[in-house]
Structure 1
Amino acid sequence: MNGKAANTRSRLERGRSALGPALELVHTGRAPTRAVLTAELGVTRATAGAVAAELEALGLIRVDSRPAAATGSQGRPSHRLSVDDTGPVVLAAQVHADGFRAALVGLGGRIVATAPGCLTPAADPGQVIGAVVDAGAGLLRTSGRRCAGAGLAVPSAVAEPDGTALNPLHIAWPAGSPVRDIFAERIRAAGIDGPAFTGNDVNLAALAEYRHGGGRGARHLLCVATGHRGVGGALVLDGRLHLGSSGLALEVGHLTVNPEGRPCHCGGRGCLDVETDPLAFLTAAGRTPGPEVSLLAQSEQLLRTEYDDPAVRAACEELIDRLGLGLAGLVNILNPDRIVLGGLHRALLAADPGRLRSVVADRSLWGRSGGVPILPCTLDHNTLVGAAELAWQPVLDDPLHALG
C-alpha cells in the first residue's frame, strides 16, 4: 500500500470512529455547525465534513451546505447541522400508576407521535406491557418510519443484570417481575426492529433532562421527582447514570423526613415517598382524590387555581419543608452541581421557590457556602424521552453497526 492510500485509509478509519461521538454532539445540540463539530472532535475540517456526510447518508442528520452568514460576521459561514426529522425513530413506552403511554421519538429527543393508554394498569405485567407495545406498533404502522429500537420505563427499581422490577409499589405487579424479558418478547412478537431496553422511570427522566432539558451543562446532576404516585431520584455523573452495584442506587423515596409521619410501603415511616407525593399533598390540603383525573394532574391543578386557599398554601409549605429536608441530606452526601425537580415537586418549586431553596441552604453544608442551583425539569415527557435514550444509545455508540 502506497503512502497516499495508507493516509486515505487512516483518515477513513478516524472518521468512522468519530461517527458515534459526532452523532451524539448533534443529538444533544452541542454541535449546531460543522465548525463546532470540528473543534469538539479535534479533527480536521475535511474529516468533520466526511463524518457529517456519512451521518447524513444514514438518514440521521441534515447538513445545510448554504447557511446564511450572520450580519457583521467575518470569514466563511459554517455548514449548519441538525437531526433529520424524517429519519429513523425509536419506540418509547412508559407504565405508571394511572396507565401507560407509547411514543415515537426521533433523534434530538423530539417526540413524533404519542398514544395514551388506560387509567388502570393490569396486575399482570405481561398484559399491560403487551398493550403498550401494541399501541406503539400502531404508531409505527401509521408513521411508516424505520424503528431503531425500543425502551420501556417502569415505576420500580430495575435490578441488574436480570432486568426485574424489584419493588413496583404503586402498581399491582408481583415483586421481581421479569419486565425486561417480557418487553423484549412482546417487541419481537410485534415485529418491531431493533433491541429492547428497560429502566426505572426517574432514572430515565434524569437522563433525558441531562441531555436535552434542565440538566444540560451539569456534570453531577441530581433529579428528584414525583410520579403519579411515590417519589424517585437519580444521579447522572459525567453523562452516565449512577446505578450502583445492581441497579438499585438512589432510592431517595425512602429517605425518612418525618419520623412520626405516614406509614410507608417499604415498612418504614415518614419517607419522602409518602410525605411529598401527590396523594400526600391532596390529603394535607383536605381534598378527596378524584377518579376522573390522575392524582398528579389533580395536585398540579390545585396549586395553579387554588393556591390562595389557606389549606392549599399550608399543604404546599408542609410538603416543601419535607422535600427540602430530603434534598439537603442528598446534597450533603452527593454534592451535586445542580438539582432538577419533576412532577409535583416542579410545581412546588414554582409555587414558592424561595422557601424550598432556603430550607435546602439552611440544612445542607454546601448550601450555606455557595448554594446548589435547584431548577425545574423542562421536558414535558422526560420519562418517555429517557426511555428513547436507552434505545438510541446503540446508534449513538456505533451508527454504522446499528443501522448499516
Structure 2
Amino acid sequence: MNGNSTPRAAGEGTTRTRLDRGRGALGPALELVHTGRAPTRAVLTAELGVTRATAGAVAAELEALGLIRVDARPGAAAGSQGRPSHRLRLAEDGPVALAAQVHADGFRAALVGLGGRIVATTPGCEIVDADPAKVLGSVVDAGAQLLQQTGRYCVGAGLAVPSAVAEPEGTALNPLHLAWPAGAPVREIFAERIHAAGITGPAFAANDVNLAALAEHRHGAGRGARDLLCVATGHRGVGGALVLDGRLHTGSSGLALEVGHLTVNPEGRPCHCGSRGCLDVEADPLAFLTAAGRDPGPEVSLLQEANDLIRDHYADPAVRTAAEALTDRLGLGLAGLVNILNPDRIILGGLHRALLDADPERLRAVVADRSLWGQSGGVPILPCTLDHNSLVGAAELAWQPVLDDPLAALTTR
C-alpha cells in the first residue's frame, strides 16, 4: 500500500491488519497533524477514537508515504505521568504544492508543504498582462523553476485570483481590478499551463480571499472557529469569505460572500458593480490614500503604500482622519454581516488588519453598536496572522485530495 514491493517481514502481518482496519483514518490523521492538532501519537489516538496500535500503524504508513516523521525517541514533559508518547511532525523534505497568486499589482509563485509552510517563493512580479494566458504561463514557469531547483515532488497546483470564480466552470466572473475579460476560464488555462510544464497533480483555482480564509482557519488566526468570517482588502477592492465547520461556504455556484458590494456610504463613490458607496471603493487601499490626500506612487503597491502610511504616519491628522473614516465604514459593513451570519469570530486582512491594529477599540465599538449580536456578547475581531495567506490557501486546494485519501493520491505517482 505504500508503493514498496519489498516482501514484508513475518511480524508485519499484524501491522498490516491494523492498517487495513484504520485505512479510513489515514486522511483524518494527516489532517490532524497538518493543522497542528495532533502533536503526539497519544493525541492522534484520542482524536481518531482508535486503538493505540491502529494509530501507530496509521502513523507508520503516513511516514512511509513521506508525509510525516514519527520521533523514535519520545520524551515526556516534566511532571507528566504514564508512558511518553511518540512525537509527530511533518516531513520537512516531503512533497509540496505549487501555489500561485495574481493580483492587481503583480503575481507570485511559491512551493508550500504540509502545515502551510512556504518552502520557496519567487520574487513578486509587478507586471500583469491583459491576457490571462500570458500571466498564468509566466507564473507557472516561475513555479516550475522552483520545483526544478528544489527537486521536490509536487502533489498539484492552486491559483488565487481577485475575482469570484464560478463553479464548476472555473471562470473568473468579475476580475474588476485586472484588465482581464469577464468570464475568463482561469482554471482551464492554469491547468493547461501546469500540464504543459510537466508538473504533476491536479490544478485548481479560487477567489483569493476565500483562500486566505481557508489558510487562516487551518493554520492562523481562525484556528478553532466554527463559523469564521474573513474580510480583507486585496491590492484593490474588498473581499469576504465564510468558513463553516472547517469548509469554505461558497454558495451554490462559488459566488457567495461578495461583501465588497455592501453599501456603506449611500452618497459615496461610484462602484464598478453599478451601485454607489460599496465597501469595495470606500474601504480599500486606494480609497484610504485618496482620503488621506496622498497620490499613489508608481513603484509601490497600493496595499503596501497604504499599510506603510498607517504604520509610519498615523500621528498625521490627515492620515488619522482618513483611517477613522475607513474604520467606521468597515465597521458598518461588518455589523451588517454579523447580523446576517452570526459568526463566532471575525478576522481581517490586508489594509483592514492595519486599521484594526491602529485603533482596535474604535472598530469593535462600531460593530457592537450597529449589530444585534455584537451588542449581546461581542464577536472577537482579530488580525490575520499568516504572511501570504492567499498563497497558502491556494496550496490547500492542491493538498485537499491528499488529505482526503493519502494512499490514492500518492501511491499512483
Change (3 A) 1:45 1:282: same
Rounded Cα–Cα distance in structure 2 between residues aligned with 1:9 and 1:380:
41
Partner residue of 2:278 out of 265, 271, 277: 271
- Residue aligning to 2:238: 231
- Residue aligning to 1:147: 154
Deviation at 1:72, TM superposition (A): 1.5
Partner residue of 1:204 out of 211, 230, 233: 211
1:338-377 equivalences under 5 Å are: 338-377=345-384
- Residue aligning to 2:8: none
Rounded Cα–Cα distance in structure 2 between residues aligned with 1:49 and 1:8:
9
- Residue aligning to 2:170: 163
Rounded Cα–Cα distance in structure 1 between residues aligned with 2:224 and 2:55:
23
Rounded Cα–Cα distance in structure 2 between residues aligned with 1:170 and 1:363:
30
- Is the partner of 2:221 in helix, strand or coil? coil
Rounded Cα–Cα distance in structure 1 between residues aligned with 2:140 and 2:55:
38
- Residue aligning to 1:59: 66
Partner residue of 1:396 out of 399, 403, 411: 403
Rounded Cα–Cα distance in structure 1 between residues aligned with 2:173 and 2:206:
11
Alpha carbons 2:217, 2:243 under 8 Å: kept:
yes
Partner residue of 1:99 out of 101, 106, 129: 106
Rounded Cα–Cα distance in structure 2 between residues aligned with 1:144 and 1:123:
32
Deviation at 1:40, TM superposition (A): 0.4
Rounded Cα–Cα distance in structure 1 between residues aligned with 2:228 and 2:145:
35
Rounded Cα–Cα distance in structure 2 between residues aligned with 1:15 and 1:53:
12
Rounded Cα–Cα distance in structure 2 between residues aligned with 1:38 and 1:127:
48
Pair 1:72-2:72 in alignment: no
Partner residue of 1:218 out of 194, 211, 225: 225
Q: Which shows bigger deviation, 315-324 or 109-118?
A: 109-118
- Residue aligning to 2:192: 185
Alpha carbons 1:94, 1:154 under 8 Å: kept:
yes
Q: Which shows bigger deviation, 210-219 or 116-125?
A: 116-125
Deviation at 1:8, TM superposition (A): 7.6
How many residues matched? 400
Amino acid at match of 2:52: R
> What is the TM-score normalised by the length of structure 1?
0.98
Rounded Cα–Cα distance in structure 2 between residues aligned with 1:314 and 1:228:
21
Pair 1:26-2:33 in alignment: yes
- Residue aligning to 1:109: 116
Rounded Cα–Cα distance in structure 2 between residues aligned with 1:390 and 1:216:
18
Partner residue of 2:258 out of 247, 251, 254: 251
Amino acid at match of 2:96: V
Q: Which deviations, in whole Å up to 9, do the C-alpha atoms of 1:107-132 show, x marking residues without a partner?
A: 00000000134212000000000000
Alpha carbons 2:228, 2:345 under 8 Å: kept:
yes
Rounded Cα–Cα distance in structure 1 between residues aligned with 2:63 and 2:16:
21
Rounded Cα–Cα distance in structure 2 between residues aligned with 1:44 and 1:119:
53
- Residue aligning to 2:299: 292
Alpha carbons 1:117, 1:132 under 8 Å: kept:
no
- Residue aligning to 1:329: 336
Deviation at 1:71, TM superposition (A): 1.3
Alpha carbons 2:15, 2:57 under 8 Å: kept:
no
- Is the partner of 2:236 in helix, strand or coil? coil
Q: Which shows bigger deviation, 326-335 or 69-78?
A: 69-78
Amino acid at match of 1:295: L
Rounded Cα–Cα distance in structure 2 between residues aligned with 1:362 and 1:393:
40
- Residue aligning to 2:5: none
- Is the partner of 2:100 in helix, strand or coil? strand
- Is the partner of 1:292 in helix, strand or coil? coil
Pair 1:315-2:306 in alignment: no
Partner residue of 2:57 out of 42, 50, 74: 50
CA RMSD of aligned residues (A): 1.2
Alpha carbons 1:34, 1:80 under 8 Å: kept:
yes
- Unpaired segments of 5 or more residues in structure 1? none
Alpha carbons 1:230, 1:253 under 8 Å: kept:
yes
- Is the partner of 2:229 in helix, strand or coil? strand
Q: Which deviations, in whole Å up to 9, do the C-alpha atoms of 1:206-239 show, x marking residues without a partner?
A: 0000000000000000000000000000000001
Deviation at 1:65, TM superposition (A): 1.9
> What is the TM-score normalised by the length of structure 2?
0.95
- Is the partner of 1:222 in helix, strand or coil? strand
Rounded Cα–Cα distance in structure 2 between residues aligned with 1:228 and 1:305:
19
Percent of pairs with identical residues: 83
Rounded Cα–Cα distance in structure 2 between residues aligned with 1:8 and 1:351:
56
Q: Which deviations, in whole Å up to 9, do the C-alpha atoms of 1:307-346 show, x marking residues without a partner?
A: 0000000000000000000000000000000000000000
Amino acid at match of 2:35: T
- Is the partner of 1:94 in helix, strand or coil? strand
Rounded Cα–Cα distance in structure 1 between residues aligned with 2:101 and 2:245:
25
Alpha carbons 1:264, 1:270 under 8 Å: kept:
yes
Deviation at 1:386, TM superposition (A): 0.1
